[in-house]
């Protein structure tokens, strides 16, 4: 059995969660029994599980002492992280604040993969973030772009996506060009509006300081002092990927995100993202981050869904 006597009653209650919800998560995940009374906590069960539960509680409490707003998803991620490596400090991950607010919450990495990704973007001019949905590839890249702009590290932000399956065949859609491409760029707008006020985004878009565009619009340009994000890059062809990467000008950086299990290209076309992974490895200044289902920070069922599809692919 482990016993804790926390100094601050209010922080202890925040650790326990509403109606003890966080403690119930730990009990279920680690198969221990946790009893709480005021600021006193008792953990019993298998010795190794008790040690791990105690470590999770101790480190989460330390996060609260630093003013971190703890949520149930953080508890789940903490259990996953410390179950894999008990020597890791959660503070090194969760307190890495990106100086950008999303609604009422500060944006921080939530997993080891996300922390590696954020550090890679800080230290390299081109970063590839590859992995399944819900791992924060695009959202964190957007947060880093906004951070760089707010700190005057770059003069503009460009958000790019291949439109309509990467072939960018827009002619059959109704409306003018903006109406045709808007649905494919909407996820980028959504993330942007989550980090800056609507009015500020509209002003920056109007001035061309922030630009959201289909990939075809990058041809022939040289992009200086810019932070460029290429999203859904699995749907680029080899030619498009080469074209995009060679747009990079001085004092610019690029983040390329994609999920190679979600390729919508015609069968005869090879994904430019897969090819880039093969031929650009080992070049200084280019870094590849591979996310897994462990980095998913959406609803807990998303991890299980991804696992189910991985099992299906392995069984074929």
Cβ atoms of residues 206 and 135 within 8 Å: no
Is it the case that residue 247 has pLDDT exceeding 50? Answer: yes
The CA distance from 252 to 243, in Å, is 16
In the prediction, which pLDDT does 299 show?
66
Q: Which long-range contacts (CB under 8 A, 24 or more apart) does 281-286 make?
A: 285/124, 285/125, 285/126, 286/124, 286/125, 286/126, 286/127, 286/128
Comparison of pLDDT for 114 and 304, the residue scoring more = 114
Pairing of strands 40-45, 2-5: antiparallel
For 5, residues 6+ apart whose C-beta sits below 8 A from its C-beta are 39, 40, 41
In the prediction, which pLDDT does 300 show?
66
In the prediction, which pLDDT does 101 show?
62
**pLDDT tens digits along 209-234:** 999 888 888 888 889 999 999 999 99
**pLDDT tens digits along 64-98:** 999 998 988 899 999 999 998 999 999 999 999 88
pTM reported for the whole predicted model = 0.82
The CA distance from 261 to 294, in Å, is 16
Q: If you count DSSP H runs as helices and E runs as strands, how many of each does the chain have, helices first?
A: 12, 11
**pLDDT tens digits along 252-272:** 999 999 999 888 887 767 899
Is it the case that residue 140 has pLDDT exceeding 90? Answer: yes
Give which of 54, 53, 52, 69 is closest to 17, Cα–Cα. Answer: 69
Edge to edge, the sheet with strand 2-5 lists 2-5, 40-45, 32-37
The CA distance from 13 to 121, in Å, is 36
Alpha carbon 311 to chain centroid, angstroms = 24
């Amino acid at each position: 059995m482990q016993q804790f006597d926390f100094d601050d009653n209010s922080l202890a209650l925040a650790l326990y969660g509403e109606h003890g919800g966080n403690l119930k998560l730990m009990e279920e995940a680690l198969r221990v029994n946790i009893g709480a009374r005021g600021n006193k906590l008792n953990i019993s069960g298998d010795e190794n599980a008790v040690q791990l539960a105690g470590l999770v509680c101790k480190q989460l409490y330390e996060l609260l002492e630093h003013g971190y707003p703890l949520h149930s998803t953080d508890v789940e991620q903490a259990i996953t992280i410390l179950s894999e490596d008990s020597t890791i400090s959660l503070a090194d991950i969760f307190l890495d604040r990106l100086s950008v607010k999303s609604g009422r919450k500060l944006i921080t990495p939530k997993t080891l993969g996300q922390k590696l990704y954020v550090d890679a973007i800080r230290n390299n001019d081109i970063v590839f973030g590859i992995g399944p949905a819900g791992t924060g590839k695009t959202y964190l890249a957007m947060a880093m772009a906004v951070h760089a702009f707010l700190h005057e590290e770059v003069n503009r932000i460009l958000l790019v996506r291949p439109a309509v399956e990467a072939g960018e065949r827009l002619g059959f859609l109704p409306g003018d060009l903006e109406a045709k491409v808007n649905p494919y760029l909407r996820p980028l707008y959504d993330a942007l509006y989550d980090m800056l006020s609507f009015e500020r985004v509209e002003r920056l878009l109007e001035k061309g300081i922030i630009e959201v565009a289909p990939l075809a619009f990058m041809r022939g340009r040289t992009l200086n002092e810019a932070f460029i994000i290429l999203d859904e890059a699995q749907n680029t062809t080899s030619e498009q990927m080469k074209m995009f990467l060679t747009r990079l000008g001085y004092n610019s950086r690029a983040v390329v995100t994609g999920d190679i299990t979600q390729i919508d290209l015609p069968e005869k076309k090879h994904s430019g993202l897969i090819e880039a992974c093969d031929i650009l490895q080992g070049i200084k200044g280019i870094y590849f981050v591979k996310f897994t289902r462990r980095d998913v920070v959406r609803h807990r069922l998303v991890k299980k869904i991804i696992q189910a599809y991985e099992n299906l692919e392995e069984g074929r």
